[in-house]
Structure 1
Amino acid sequence: MQLEIFQVDAFSSVPFGGNPAAVIPLQQWLPDDVLQRIAEENNLSETAYFVRNGEAFDLRWFTPAVEVDLCGHATLAAAWVLFEQLGEQAEVLRFNTRSGELRVSRNADGLLAMDFPVKQPVAVEIAPGLLEALGLSEARALYRTDDYVLVIDDASLIEGLKPDFVALSSFDVRGIAVTAAGRGFDFVTRWFGPRVGVNEDPVTGSAHTSLAPYWAERLGKNSLRCEQGGARKGQLQCDVPGNGRVIISGRGALYLRGVIFI
């Protein structure tokens, strides 16, 4: 069997930036174990698969270790492939996913806008051992959705974080986002997910469904410029219109197009 594969750097306008995702269009679903093994072989933080379903697409995401409920950068990559490589003419792409229907539109200059549901973060006590695992001595607050969202006051500490990934994998959350205001953006973030097989994700679109509503409320603005990453970074635009949705926008760049033989 031969399958077409694309590798797209999401949330970047040029290769080698943002967050790489594999995108594999399918005519019909393969067995789950095959989808998982392909994602493991790709060894990227996410591999996205889609199958056309009427006027929409069924979309699934796999890390090298597990299938996940929501992935922003691989959704953007899948939409970019449909628009820019496969000639999709629809003004808005509709994806059926484990997180409900997701919509992606494209504006005149190629910016892709993803319409995701808000995940409102809830304040919790700072978990014992969390700061030590991140190499931090203090934090402003901790919030929880699918992830822990740890807010710190000094954005300069974000760049130098060197987490203990074994220790982080013991926390019962999808991942840990460390975020702060400033450094030329409304807020900056790094995201660590060793529990789902991704030690660090350069740009995590889905994490911004929690990050954006937090920062929108704290900063008193509903349009936010964001950056995520350590050595490798990407940029996002997040809009929080107050209707229970987050509009997460970014660009994509093609790195690879090829064929898988299985």
Structure 2
Amino acid sequence: MDSVRVGFSPRLWWVDAFIGDNARGNPAVVVLLEAPLDSEVMQQIAFELGVSETAFLRRVRDAWSLRWFTPTVEVDLCGHATLASVHVLSAELGVPAGEITFLTRSGPLSGRRLAAGLVAVDLPRSYLEELEPTALGTALGPLREVWQAGPSSVLAVVEDYETLCGLRVDALELFAIPASLVVVVCAGAPDSDLALRVFAPRLGLAEDPVTGSAMCALAPWWASRTGQPTVSARQASARGGLMHARLFERAVEVAGEARTFFSGDLRV
């Protein structure tokens, strides 16, 4: 059971994750807790902050409890807010840049700081099951391929980068698709191996700016096409983002750059 504690001021950091050339990344707020906080209070904080994901960190012996909230719901996995948490712990709080372990609803996850300013997190890989190209109806227009990516995500492949960028979707039509994440991808982009857009109306997000957890499906998909375990990806959202991934047997290492935009204190 969660504990309720009010009248204290946890620190927070606003971090832009997966930034790069012509890419502003995805904002996440990382909140450092000294004690457990009631889930309802965490949800209220996430709603007030209004970013796509708010991460709540709390030290638990040699690891860190990590929970993620959109403005409307707690989620089981979030790549960019986990990357932001590694950045805060290593760059802002002086935690050694080696392996950092997080205890999450998706099980233990690890992260680290790499060379050349990159931060990396290990996320569970998705196993893909091919569906009929018509499985998603007309919400995304004509599709080359459709894949089920775990219990809560679908992967839709479009013809090319121009088609991806020109995609106009109806949130109500997307909501009818039984998936939390709808990942739309094409091979080839101006400066990366592939490009993607991600829609998540069931999580309260019309379009996600940058989605690290999408690489859990995209890295295996790319490897099945090319035989290559590494892939670079540009998220073609309004903010834009750059990600790098490496496929392992049971995990995908997702890496990118992050920077702190501002920090402060919360009044709870």
TM over 0.5: yes
Q: How many residues align?
A: 258
Superposition RMSD in Å: 1.7
Q: Supply the distance in 1 between the matched residues of 2:218 and 2:63 (Cα, whole angstroms).
A: 28
Q: CA deviation at 1:190?
A: 0.1
Letter in 2 for 1:9: D
Deviation by residue 1:83-141 (Cα, 9 ceiling, x = unmatched)? 1111112511000111111111112332112112211121123456x45323x2x1111
Runs of at least 5 residues in structure 1 that lack an aligned partner in the other structure: none
- Residue 206 of structure 2: which of 196, 199, 206 is its match? 199
Q: Indicate whether 1:64 and 2:71 are aligned.
A: yes
Runs of at least 5 residues in structure 2 that lack an aligned partner in the other structure: 1-7
- Residue 141 of structure 1: which of 124, 142, 145 is its match? 145
Runs of 4+ in structure 1 displaced over 6 angstroms? none
SS in 2 for 1:41: helix
SS in 1 for 2:219: helix
Instruction: Please name the residue that 1:167 is paired with.
Output: 173
Q: Indicate whether 1:22 and 2:29 are aligned.
A: yes
Letter in 2 for 1:116: L
Instruction: Please name the residue that 2:157 is paired with.
Output: 151
Q: Indicate whether 1:85 and 2:92 are aligned.
A: yes
Q: Supply the distance in 2 between the matched residues of 1:260 and 1:82 (Cα, whole angstroms).
A: 18
SS in 2 for 1:29: coil
Q: Is the 8 A contact 1:11 1:236 kept in 2?
A: yes
TM-score normalised by structure 1 residue count: 0.93
Q: Is the 8 A contact 1:201 1:229 kept in 2?
A: no
Residue correspondence of structure 1 range 30-109 to structure 2 within 5 A: 30-109=37-116
Q: Supply the distance in 2 between the matched residues of 1:261 and 1:162 (Cα, whole angstroms).
A: 40
Q: Supply the distance in 2 between the matched residues of 1:107 and 1:73 (Cα, whole angstroms).
A: 16
Q: CA deviation at 1:229?
A: 2.8
Q: Is the 8 A contact 1:14 1:253 kept in 2?
A: no
Q: Is the 8 A contact 2:23 2:240 kept in 1?
A: no
- Identity fraction in percent: 39
Letter in 2 for 1:31: D
- Larger CA deviation: 19-28 vs 148-157: 148-157
Instruction: Please name the residue that 1:220 is paired with.
Output: 227
